[in-house]
Structure 1
């Protein structure tokens, strides 16, 4: 007799280490929330049952990555780990020169400090919080260029993360090409609900950047997830591997900025990758890296972390990892939709986004319905998410979204079901949920959601 495959997806890996979690009693969750100033960034990890605050550095490493940690070479200069990472970046992503950094925002500081000056305009399909802050901190004006329909929760477009070249040209006509030194393409587009970017659009953006003599930087934090979507949705690449698609898409960039805490599958690390022909940019980044991150063969990382990063990059583009990763996100999206929780569709590669304006229609935007929903997720079921609406982005006109970002290779189907049940319970008692007001703010509005404190309104 032949053994038939099970009627449900089975993960291609098993757990060899566990980390206990506990759902606190409701009254203790309420006390923790109040003590945190109704800002879930201030919660202690031990008080959280399912942590979907971010997918950045929160995933589970493989046994091969743990083995790499034990082989770590801690030499200050020229370590084995750096050479391994350098080779992995060239093999997987196509950049043969890198400037390591302790994480993605360190790499952003390196490259945008080298490229952006006072009065410049930086174009992006959509800036995320730290990217926007780094551009602003260097005197630049970060301008988003999403495609039509990117903010439509139900638009049936396979690449809602694309960059609108038409919008970008209008900005250039207004400010002048000489004032646009950098064009950024973020794949996947985190700010626009983790939606993917097509290779066709990448080519168009590269041509546009070339036409105005701007440097094209790809924010490649989730490059493997994006390549998976291209494989599934872009006809030209239906028969290509995720690894080949990734190299193709990144080949159009002059440079990339990378947080290893996403598709590098590590808990810390990042780098700037620089293409051939960009010698001046590489040297500028290398010098800034030495100044802000550390010597150019460790960049703020221990040698063992460099080695684990190199292994993680290779694993990220190998089947079946990325297909299983995206499938878990899709499963959460489907379960939320089945429970009538208003959710952005189709699902992105790393997170699911709930529309708090639709879920809590009685709360006006100035009372932060997204943050109110985030607080209620924790109060109801110990689930920590993050608001990406008016609280995180004070000037935004798009919906007040709540992001539920799934760590890689960490939670199982039972955790996903608990999250869906919790969100459903919050929606069922939506009328009872009050808005919020800020009682202590941040001096930098682009980053206020990390530290500001709030209180419920009567």
Structure 2
């Protein structure tokens, strides 16, 4: 069949509160033009994030009822540990309440002032945790990623020649870890090829530098490899994922993405000495090593989710349905990041609003207008999120000016997505009327979460 349907039935529904343009204009002004500050009930289609917003399956809800809430050595812990090892293959599994906690623990024990941590593109919390530990986060995206409209199949790759140059420039002793994010969230949700994973691994091991994968969307990345990389069409997503992780020394994971869970994450490694130090910090800040800030029922839900996310029917639906939105927008002449990523559609705000300078934050301006027009909440990934130097406070344009429309897993139907396409189209029709934004207040770290804006 040509029509790809949702490979699930809907058993429970949640009503959506409908609002008017006038109401939404008032609400966003009251929120300081920051979409994070809106009440969720005032959002019609919420594409702010795909993190923790998935719909859990009947099997996951059933697993919740089996949660063992014993403080130490709970049955649920052992089920969780087996599920993680089955996919990732690393010896040591350290549960955390979410992915950023895994990042904080990893960088707290590895990064020192003056450290440099390269990546294909760090996302916001990863970058902030490196900076908080005194390190410098360096993005080394592939050259193909510079053009949002280019249809290169693996635009999430790291520039390995640039990685070699960086190691020669700063010395391997200043690089405690090399990170590779799959898929590349900051770079448009683009996948990373297996060839690139292997090459980054070869370089890291040649210089004695640990290599870690930020694995939030590992299953989507594995399926892209199956679809796009020669030699993998006959492999299962699980087999591809296991090969990806075989080249690494460890991984961080937010289970709120590719495990369908509403909370949770983990850190996993083969380094026993490092794992012992990480567990010490875990006990201090998260909880005992067999629960790590999670309830037993959450450990159960993640264990089931790690199995379900690798089902090919689901992954095919996920990739095709996201591409449906991106392709509809592209056919209408609306600038989007191409080819479509797995978890989100990225509007190219720089081309959408070319008259708005980068430091008047075209992505934020576009995100605000999309909410006003249709009650659709996205998030800016551009000079608001990445434009401020943490050491000097100096503002500079980010590599990309994007608005991410992150699609929660198993939540919205095609008619919801058609509504989103129509809302974007309506904003595009009046794009010449849209002006820029300015920041009127901001915190020191992760300013996009709580900054307040005004029209420029």
Query: After TM superposition, what 4+ stretches of structure 1 lie above 6 angstroms from structure 2?
Result: none
Aligned residues of 1:265 and 1:309 also touching (Cα < 8 A) = yes
Distance in 2 between residues matched to 1:321 and 1:289, nearest whole Å: 34
TM-score (norm 2): 0.97
Aligned residues of 1:352 and 1:405 also touching (Cα < 8 A) = yes
Distance in 2 between residues matched to 1:396 and 1:431, nearest whole Å: 21
Q: Structure 2 unaligned runs (5+)?
A: 388-395
Distance in 2 between residues matched to 1:388 and 1:64, nearest whole Å: 34
Aligned residues of 1:198 and 1:234 also touching (Cα < 8 A) = yes
Aligned residues of 1:86 and 1:96 also touching (Cα < 8 A) = no
1:168 aligned residue: 163
| TM-fit CA distance, 1:96 | 3.4
Match of 1:88 among 64, 72, 83: 83
Distance in 2 between residues matched to 1:236 and 1:44, nearest whole Å: 47
Aligned residues of 2:283 and 2:292 also touching (Cα < 8 A) = yes
Aligned residues of 1:50 and 1:383 also touching (Cα < 8 A) = yes
Distance in 2 between residues matched to 1:220 and 1:187, nearest whole Å: 6
Distance in 1 between residues matched to 2:175 and 2:189, nearest whole Å: 25
| TM-fit CA distance, 1:22 | 2.1
> What whole-Å deviation, never above 9, does each CA across 1:149-169 have from its counterpart, x for those lacking one?
112112231111111111011
Distance in 1 between residues matched to 2:376 and 2:146, nearest whole Å: 25
1:364 aligned residue: 357
Distance in 1 between residues matched to 2:231 and 2:112, nearest whole Å: 39
| TM-fit CA distance, 1:11 | 1.7
> What whole-Å deviation, never above 9, does each CA across 1:422-444 have from its counterpart, x for those lacking one?
01111100121121111111122
2:406 is aligned with 1:405: yes
Distance in 2 between residues matched to 1:217 and 1:285, nearest whole Å: 15
2:58 aligned residue: 63
Bigger drift between 260-269 and 319-328 goes to: 319-328
Distance in 2 between residues matched to 1:159 and 1:83, nearest whole Å: 36
1:234 aligned residue: 229
2:447 is aligned with 1:454: no
Distance in 1 between residues matched to 2:182 and 2:93, nearest whole Å: 19
Aligned residues of 1:100 and 1:298 also touching (Cα < 8 A) = yes
Aligned pair in 2 of structure 1 residues 396, 313: CA closer, same or farther (>3 Å)? farther
1:389 aligned residue: 382
Q: How does 1:270-349 map to 2 (within 5 A)?
A: 270-275=265-270, 278-349=271-342
Aligned residues of 2:358 and 2:397 also touching (Cα < 8 A) = no
> What whole-Å deviation, never above 9, does each CA across 1:405-438 have from its counterpart, x for those lacking one?
0000000001100111101111100121121111
| TM-fit CA distance, 1:396 | 4.7
Count of matched residue pairs? 448
2:393 aligned residue: none
Match of 1:26 among 21, 27, 31: 21
Distance in 2 between residues matched to 1:272 and 1:351, nearest whole Å: 24
Aligned residues of 1:23 and 1:381 also touching (Cα < 8 A) = no
What SS does structure 2 have at the residue aligned with 1:431?
A: helix
Distance in 2 between residues matched to 1:456 and 1:23, nearest whole Å: 26
Distance in 1 between residues matched to 2:86 and 2:397, nearest whole Å: 39
Distance in 1 between residues matched to 2:88 and 2:311, nearest whole Å: 13
Q: How does 1:31-110 map to 2 (within 5 A)?
A: 31-110=26-105
